[in-house]
A and B are shown apart, each in its own frame.
Chain A
């Protein structure tokens, strides 16, 4: 077991972990932060996307031990984030979710897109969403929501 300390959603969290434990399992099983979902565990679906040192990150492709000393933010930690508030409203209004399983990873990714790109167009948003799987919506509402949020925030 290896001791790991992570700045998690603004608070220091320490646990002894097996080196093989992914950040996703660290968050879900040890910290009780279950907004981060696991859809594939091999980096292809994006449901587990979180921020590590402010970078969008597959938490299934990150070992907890490798995040020692780093800062991690999950959807739970972005509750008062102004960009996230706007995104959530547009996700709601654009019917950008059905079963809700992909939603946390989509929101984290959407926020990352809007952090990097000003007023992205639909085509750009589609490209940026590559690697985020939603099985329900067919993506149209998600793309609309991110475009609308981008316009509102610009």
Chain B
């Protein structure tokens, strides 16, 4: 179980990295932590000609807090977030999410940028960042652009990232009131890919609510009708179940009855945790 051969470069600058990734006529891939890419290469389910090591680019490393919010560099590892090395503007949500991704040795190298770039339908960060209203900051040959994470992730393993573009990091808006959140995740065993992940996030009491479900479809989706119920302070489980069912119909039409129960349960569990805060 050894990877097929490939070439390797470790550019010293973002521009060089971008140029290398954009080379014509060959398949290129950026590697940061490599915790998703290397298994695929080892298993020979992914093949590339050129691996571009972006793991030492300083531009991707910055973690900065501003009055507007937080910028998390793409190379920030899950472990760094888990360990609280990233300022916590979100009531501990980031730490909680980070600490339940895969296994510690993987979290030590896996990065938030890599997770979003890969856009695995069961990944934790795209849904979490969506729930927090985050944007992705992207460097390309024509400069830097920004796009909401909710639009950046298009489909399973598909993003708007163009050839030669590199994720610089994520901009998370500062909540205008203390953040209350709930998070629920079901996997077949500890550390395994999730079968369902739900985020419920609200700014203060009575503020706008965001409900995001991950692993139910090819990408994370907002559950707007459920969020609306919560914003209206609707209490009954029955009303929430109906709202969740409607939401699932908009993006997870293929969900069978087990998946409907599963996703409903994770959303309800996240809501319970959110309410308890």
Interface residues, chain A, with chain B CB atoms under 8 Å away: 2, 18-20, 22, 25, 41-43, 46, 49, 55-58, 60-63, 65-66, 68, 109, 112, 116, 127-128, 130-132
B53 to A65, Cβ gap below 8 A?
yes
B7 at the interface (CB under 8 A from A): yes
Q: Are A66 and B6 within 8 A (Cβ)?
A: no
Total number of residue pairs linking A and B with CB closer than 8 Å: 92
Interface of B is mostly: loop
A131: chain B residues within 8 A (beta carbon): 102-106, 190-191
Interface residues of B (CB under 8 A from A): 1-8, 10, 31, 34-35, 38-39, 41-43, 51, 53, 55, 79, 83, 102-106, 108-109, 190-191
- B53 CB contacts on chain A under 8 angstroms: 65-66
Is A20 in contact with B109, judged by CB distance below 8 angstroms? no
| Cβ A130 vs Cβ B103 within 8 A | yes
A-B contact pairs, 14 of them (CB 8 A): A20-B41, A22-B42, A25-B2, A41-B1, A41-B2, A42-B42, A49-B105, A56-B108, A61-B39, A66-B10, A66-B53, A130-B104, A131-B104, A131-B190
**Cβ contact within 8 Å between B43 and A56:** no
A132 vs B42: C-alpha distance when bound (angstroms) = 19
Residues of B near A43 (CB, < 8 A) are: 35, 38-39, 103, 105-106
A109 and B104 within 8 A (CB): yes
Beyond A42-B39, A62-B34, whether A55 also contacts B108 by CB under 8 A is yes
Whether B34 and A66, one on each chain, are in contact in the complex, defined by CB atoms closer than 8 angstroms, is: yes
Residues of A within 8 A of B109 (CB): 55, 57-58, 61-62
Measured CA separation A147–B222 after assembly (Å): 42
Which residues on B sit within 8 Å (CB–CB) of A109? Answer: 104-105
Contact check, B7 vs A19: say whether CB atoms are below 8 A apart. Answer: yes
Taken together as a complex, chains A and B put the C-alpha atoms of A18 and B55 apart, in Å, by 19
With CB as the reference atom, state the residue of chain A lying closest to B39.
A42
